[in-house]
Amino acid sequence: MDANKFLTLLQKATFDCPPTGLGATWTTSMDRIFDHIAKAAKMRIRSRRIGGEIGRIDYAFVKSESSHPRIEIAVEHENYWSSKESLRDFHKLCTVLSPLRVMFCYRSRESQVQSSIQDLINHYEAETHHEIPNSQFLILGGWRQDDLPNFRWHVHLKDPQRGENWDSIPYPPRRNS
């Protein structure tokens, strides 16, 4: 699955089952959303609550249940921003061999999100071992919002097919009526 398909399924899942609450309640809501995405993509999730984490990755989307399945999508989902903790988990995600790696991070206010994403991008660019041929990387930064069915993230995509830069992608894309 590529980044655009993931974002499309994310939009549908957040519309069909909007995330709610804060902290652990939000994480439980996102569990449902990730389950929704996996089902639509005909994949299974390995996580702390389902089948055990693979490589300490929060959510590993896999196509098979073998003892060493290939991770098709690796997701880190960090509710609480802490530069040290968030960079550690981001670094962990950077080392996963997967066609699509996705980092979700949150701040209290939208004004804080872009600088946090830039910190992650700067970390990525400072390390050379993160480049995996034909692997896309998404960073989604969120903040507290009231319109949960239409929750927005700031999204940045690193796609080797599109060049060296991180592209900012509008999210959510406009829904077709």
The CB-side HSE value for 80 (13 A sphere, CA atoms) comes to 6
Q: How many domains does the chain have?
A: 1
Residue 175, domain member (yes or no): no
In a domain, 177, yes or no: no
Q: Would the pLDDT of 39 be above 50? A: yes
- pLDDT (tens digit per residue) in 58-115: 999 998 766 678 899 999 998 777 777 788 888 889 888 999 999 999 888 888 888 8
Residues for the chain: how many in total? 177
Is 169:152 a contact under the CB 8 Å cutoff? no
| DSSP character string of the chain | --HHHHHHHHHHHHHHS---SSTHHHHHHHHHHHHHHHHHTT-EEEETTTB--STT-SEEEES--SSS--EEEEEEEESS--HHHHHHHHHHHHT---SEEEEEEEESSHHHHHHHHHHHHHHHHH-STT--TT-EEEEEEEE--S-GGG---EEEEE-GGG-SSEEEE-SSPPPP-
Q: Which residue has the higher pLDDT, 127 or 154?
A: 154
Residue 176 lies in a domain: no
Domain housing 106 = 3-169
pTM summary value: 0.88
Angle between the N-to-C axes of helices 110-126 and 83-94, in degrees from 0 to 180, rounded to the nearest 10? 50
Is 174 among the domain residues? no
Q: Specify the pLDDT at position 76.
A: 93
- pLDDT > 70? residue 43: yes
